[in-house]
Structure 1
Amino acid sequence: MNDSVEISIVLPVYNVIDYLNECIKSILRQSNKNFELIIVDDGSTDGSQILCDRYSESDSRIKVIHQKNAGLSAARNTGLNHAKGKYITFIDSDDFVGEKYIEVLYKIIIESCADISMCDYMEVAQDTQISDVTFQEKYPIDKYYYNGKEAIANVYKNSSHGMEFVSWAKMYKLELFKSNGILFPEEKLHEDAFTTYKLFYASNKIAFVNAPLYFYRIRSGSIMTSEFTEKRLDMIQATREEYLFFRENRDFELMYLAFVDYLHKVKLILKMIFASAGDNREITRSVCKELDHDIEECKKSINIPMIKYVYYKGMAKFPRIFTSIR
């Protein structure tokens, strides 16, 4: 492996044998070849672990780390700890990337002296193969630049497709993680939401290109398509922590945007709870009690318009009624 490698690609793997070959092939066909690929096998049992080793035997850029199953966050953190590049990017092993994914993200992060570069993404069906998609050279590439706060506001306002609090479809200065002590929270769903906003907030400059260089596979039975379980409450916790983070930093504009997003996530989870068959009354009461407390605390920091305040309180006091209101 080249000791002067600039880019580390971290690929967490857990029982994705049906998609792993396509993912790794898409990485190895990158136009920019100067990278290390760190594959973290998180205790796979379906043959994925064997395929990873076969690839590492055929390409010196690939390093495979086998560990006991500890979850996606733990696998990403292992990759972070072993990365040698100045820049790092994360790819999920059931997704794949366009041929110029690394080239474009690296070029823009260098040219603009950014802390993070980002690209748009395209959702693809479960059985999609690399040969089925049209890659980025068919699309115009427009570039946009933000400071950290502007990028966060853009995410909350849904101003640009692809601007989201997800770890993939981005390239980061590795030092951004190291100097700010940022890791992915283990044993959490929606782990990106606990992490990415902190990286944005710590960034002086973020570059975004509108080309869909990352292909996000929609799988039935995946975390994002499954029904309500108590682990789904991690989504509420993540967005609540965003709100509290900005409140503690006295960044009241971002605090209120995060608070509105927190309310949206509460409403979404409550709808899932009410649609489920189990008895979740205690969970509902706990969620609404915490929400009611946060509404009052938020009101101490900013002037919430009365009509919105009444709606927010209604959500906390009468969730079944208010979750049915658009």
Structure 2
Amino acid sequence: MLEVDSIKISVVIPIYNVELYIERCVRSLMEQTLENIEFIFVNDCTLDKSMDILQHVLEEYPARKKSVKIIEHKENRGLAAARNTGLNNVTGEYIIHCDSDDWIEKDMYEKLLRKALKTCADIVVCDFYDDYIGYSVVRKQPFPQESQECIKRMMNGELQCNTWNKLIARKLYERTKIYFPEGVNMWEDVSTIIPLCFHANIVAYVSEPLYHYIHYNTGSYLTRMNQSSLYNLIEALELIEVFLKEQEVYQQYAGNLCFMKLTVKLNLLLGSKGEQQKKWNNLYSEANIYIWQSTYISIYWKLALQFAALNMLFLFNIMAQLGKVLRSIKSR
């Protein structure tokens, strides 16, 4: 078997307004036990001091200097475009993404690479931590070896479609010509990982949480849900549908896809009101029969979706307002 130090991996790190978090992220990258790593930082025209902090931290790791690339976007192009810029500049045999407000365990990349070399997997996945203020929750991600089952579980909401806990063989990107959909900055990973998994020959799993996904960055795409983000969800879902139809497997996954449609619909309804909410409530009506079969959506929100399916949006909105109050109380 090949030695891990003879194989290079490339890490793509988009940067945009993360000055409060980037130092911890960069230190966790620079202190990886794996030596042969290429770090590609993509500055998507950040408006804060993120790049100054990055440069300052890098000075403390001179041994890593030759392994670092910093690429500057001339204009803000969004998360998907930043990921693609990174992909277009990688030289490693394996590729992984890291969000610059998160951080990783020191041996994450070594463990993922060892698993990849041992199993000849195209994709290696690990568990991760959901980090909140004061506590963390381990999220198990037991990806099966069969790509078909992986896709179904991701669509069902049982497994996550994040890019940052998945080491992917560069040859898989090259063979499939799959890139992130530029302009789609919410669920851009969903519309990319599902096609990549579809084409993967082997998927391997490391049963250990190695990535820390933080939930308290108020400037992240996830916490800044706006109208553009909501349209991104619709676009991402459409891209997945188109992909499945092009591969002539749409019917095989149609039922599983309905669980994703419910997740999108819930976000659309929570983020809109008035006529726009009524319009979006008519979307994905075929998914309504799956409301009570979902294992990912809580009973509370299943009930809210059921009210929406019965065109009782006033009751949905009462539950939405109550949900905000409950989350506020829980976060104190």
Report the TM-score range of the alignment, normalised by the length of the smaller protein.
0.7 to 0.9
CA contact (8 A) 2:101 2:217 kept: no
**3-state SS, counterpart of residue 66 of structure 2:** coil
- Distance, in Å, in 2 between the alignment partners of 1:251 and 1:315 is 26
Whole-Å separation in 1 of the counterparts to 2:30 and 2:225: 35
2-structure distance, mates of 1:165, 1:11: 17
Name the CA distance, whole Å, in 1 between partners of 2:213 and 2:306.
37
Identity of aligned residues (%): 27
- 1:270 equivalenced with 2:276 (yes/no): no
C-alpha spacing 1:62/1:194, structure 2 compared with 1 (3 Å): same
> Could you give the per-residue CA deviations for residues 198-225 of structure 1, whole angstroms, max 9, x where no partner exists?
1111111111222110000112523222
Amino acid at match of 2:98: I
Which residue of 62, 65, 73 maps to 1:67? 73
Q: 1:171 aligns with which of 159, 167, 174?
A: 167
Q: Is the 8 A contact 2:10 2:96 kept in 1?
A: yes
What is the rounded CA distance, in whole Å, between the counterparts of 2:21 and 2:97 in structure 1?
16
| Structure 2 residue aligned with 1:277 | none
**Alignment of 1:152 onto 2:183:** no
Q: 2:39 aligns with which of 37, 40, 45?
A: 37
> Once the 2 structures are TM-superposed, how far is the Cα of residue 226 of structure 1 from its aligned partner?
3.5
1:287 matches 2:280:
yes
User: Are 1:203 and 2:196 matched, yes or no?
Assistant: no
User: SS where residue 188 of structure 1 aligns?
Assistant: coil
Change in 2 beyond 3 A, CA 1:100/1:319: farther
Which string of whole-angstrom CA distances, capped at 9 and with x for unpartnered residues, describes residues 102-143 of structure 1? 0111011111111100111101136x8xxx989x9xxxx997
Distance 1:40-1:262 versus aligned 2 partners, 3 A rule = same
Which secondary structure does the structure 1 equivalent of 2:272 belong to?
helix
CA contact 1:5–1:36 (8 Å) conserved in 2: no
> 1:86 and 1:47, CA in 2 relative to 1: closer, same or farther beyond 3 A?
same
Aligned to 1:46: 48
Q: AA paired with 1:212? A: P
The answer to whether residue 181 in structure 2 is matched with residue 185 in structure 1 is yes
Distance 1:223 1:102 in 2: 25
The 10-residue stretch of structure 1 (13-22 or 74-83) with the greater mean CA deviation from structure 2: 13-22
The change in CA–CA distance for 1:245 and 1:27 in structure 2 (over 3 A counts) is same
1:13 corresponding residue in structure 2:
15
CA shift in 2, pair 1:315/1:7, >3 Å: same
- Contact residue 12 and residue 86 of structure 2 kept, 8 A: yes
Q: 1:84 to 1:289 in 2, by over 3 A?
A: same
1:1-54 deviation line (CA, Å, top 9, x unaligned):
xx9751001111112121111101101111111111111111123222233344
The aligned counterpart of 1:88 is 95
Q: Displacement, 1:242?
A: 2.2
SS at match of 1:273: coil
CA contact (8 A) 1:243 1:262 kept: no
CA distances 1:47-99 after superposition (whole Å, capped 9, x unpaired)? 22233344556321111111222111111111100000010010000000001
- Answer yes or no: is the 8 Å Cα contact 1:240–1:262 preserved in 2: no
Q: Residue 271 of structure 2: SS of its match in structure 1?
A: helix
Letter of the structure 2 residue corresponding to residue 167 of structure 1: T
Q: Which range is displaced more, 311-320 or 109-118?
A: 311-320
Q: Are 1:237 and 2:239 matched, yes or no? A: no
Unaligned runs of 5+ in 2: 294-302, 321-332
1:149-202 CA deviation, whole Å, 9 max, x = no partner? 11111223344xxx3111111100112222212111122232112211111111
Q: Which stretches in structure 1 are left out of the alignment for 5+ residues? A: 275-279, 299-303
Counterpart AA for 1:60 = K
CA contact (8 A) 2:143 2:150 kept: no
Structure 2 length as normaliser, TM-score?
0.77
Q: Secondary structure at the match of 1:171?
A: strand
Query: Residue 253 of structure 1: CA displacement?
Result: 2.9
Give the direction of change, closer, same or farther, for the CA distance of 1:315–1:323 in structure 2 (3 Å limit): same
| C-alpha contact (below 8 Å) 1:189/1:232 kept by paired residues | no
